[in-house]
Structure 1
Amino acid sequence: MSAKTAGTLPDGPDYLHLLLILYGSAKGDSSSDDRFGQDQRRAEVDIRLKLPRAGMRPPEIDSYAREFVGLNYASIKHTQKWHCEFCDKPARMSQQDAASWSHLKPPRSNLYFHFVCDPSTGPCAAQLRSAHIQMASMTGRPPQPPGPRENPLDFPPMAVCAGCQREETVDVPTKKCSGCDLTRSVDDFKNHWREHKAFCKTPKTVKWVWP
């Protein structure tokens, strides 16, 4: 277990407290329920996201958080040699659950990423659906509807280099970015700093639970 803080995190009503929790497994993990619980493999990324303007309404804040995540998804996805949260296959896709308190000052939002082999069909998709239902019961919101059915093989494994995303880098050692302690690359980010820079320089702390 490790944690890294990139300086003192800013605070105040102009900053969104955005917590990303990334769930998955590692190759060779037990297939029993022992992989779940307090020590389940995950990364917790506590971000301070500067809001673009004052007086934003809660739906606007939630939309801004989703846009930030979408623009920086590669930096979030390619962060470890992730395998599926529920089985031993390499993770290729993710689905998210959300809990938002964007009406607070400062506003807060949690996004839970489930890194999986296939979110649409099979036993892992069924377990993912159960996780969505459980989250809905905790937040009081309706369960997230199933996304469009897509072929997981159309997406690179999460274990590949964040820069080139080539399949052949699955088994190649990758280097963790020294700035964010999260995203992994083969070339130490020299070739894709332009894409990674905004996410890397956003104030954050990163805690790895990797027993």
Structure 2
Amino acid sequence: MSSEDLKLILTVFTYGPHQSRAEIELRPSIPKSARGNPAKINAWLQGMSLTMAADFKFTNDWHCEICDKPARESKYNVASWTHLAQPRAVFYIHHLCAAGNNRCHNIIKLQDAQMSRIAGGGSQNPHEELLAMMGSLSTDEDEVPEGGFPLASSCANCNDEKTGKKGFKLFRCGSCKLTRYCCPGCQKQDWARHKKTCKIVESVKWVDWPTKA
């Protein structure tokens, strides 16, 4: 691949309950000003992740990965290899009922910490250690308030609460086959933002969904 068309190999995994997930492949072009400079590529990648957040969140009837309540927030983990001649990055996105000091969020953070220890040659019994840490979490943090952040199952543009309720019919962007809307009007209003993601989506795969995604 020539430097004139250098693209980032970006893979996104978004997780829901019961091992359900989406696997998304994107190929954004790396700005010429950032090519060959890992720090600049990472800064560009961080900014791009913010502009694409809605396109990864409002994509299906997402429920919390841990408790199976309707998801409203997401936790991102990013791994990148921007020093390579062919830069690569992976987003791991966990759909959660709530973030902050919430038991579900804390469980995901514990899992992340445990995996880091394993990668660094830590515990020989990671599963037992994780269960012990999870048992120490308070169960008084499980209350999830209504409202606040919009439902991940709602329209990507208006975020109307009713569009995220069970039985409400949404449709996907016909080009990227990822982001969902409640009506053509909302899709049109969101196009100026969404088109930046839409044109770089190469494939979307739904894994372990009980019904057609």
- Per the TM superposition, whether the score is higher than 0.5 is yes
The answer for the alignment partner of 2:148 in structure 1 is 154
* Equivalent AA in structure 2 for residue 206 of structure 1: V
The answer for the alignment partner of 1:173 in structure 2 is 169
Equivalent pair of 1:90/1:117 in contact (CA under 8 Å): yes
Alignment of 1:108-119 (within 5 A): 108-119=88-99
For 1:71 and 1:12, the matched residues in 2 are separated by 27
Cα offset for 1:203? 4.2
Q: So what's the TM-score if we normalise by structure 2?
A: 0.76
The answer for the alignment partner of 1:6 in structure 2 is none
Q: The residue matched to 2:193 in structure 1 has which SS?
A: helix
Cα–Cα, structure 1 residues 103 and 127, in superposed 2: closer, same or farther, change >3 Å? same
Alignment of 1:6-155 (within 5 A): 14-25=6-17, 35=18, 40-53=19-32, 55-137=35-117, 153-155=147-149
Q: The residue matched to 1:199 in structure 2 has which SS?
A: helix
1:192 pairs with 2:190: yes
For 2:92 and 2:118, the matched residues in 1 are separated by 13
Q: The residue matched to 1:192 in structure 2 has which SS?
A: helix
Q: The residue matched to 2:39 in structure 1 has which SS?
A: helix
Q: So what's the TM-score if we normalise by structure 1?
A: 0.77
Bigger helix fraction? 2
Q: Which moved more, 1:125-134 or 1:77-86?
A: 125-134
For 1:138 and 1:202, the matched residues in 2 are separated by 34
Cα offset for 1:139? 5.8
Cα offset for 1:122? 3.5
The answer for the alignment partner of 1:205 in structure 2 is 203
Cα offset for 1:45? 1.1
RMSD of equivalent CA atoms: 2.0
The answer for the alignment partner of 2:141 in structure 1 is none
For 1:76 and 1:165, the matched residues in 2 are separated by 14
- In the comparison of the two structures, how many residue pairs are matched? 178
* Equivalent AA in structure 2 for residue 192 of structure 1: D
* Equivalent AA in structure 2 for residue 158 of structure 1: A
Cα–Cα, structure 1 residues 128 and 203, in superposed 2: closer, same or farther, change >3 Å? closer
- Unpaired stretches in structure 2, ≥5 consecutive residues: 121-144
Cα offset for 1:73? 1.3
For 2:192 and 2:148, the matched residues in 1 are separated by 25
* Equivalent AA in structure 1 for residue 151 of structure 2: P
List per-residue Cα deviations over 1:140-184 (Å, max 9, x = no partner): 5xxxxxxxxxx8842101011001111121122110111111111
The answer for the alignment partner of 1:148 in structure 2 is none
Q: The residue matched to 2:8 in structure 1 has which SS?
A: strand
Equivalent pair of 1:44/1:206 in contact (CA under 8 Å): yes
Higher relative contact order (CA 8 A, sep 6+): 1
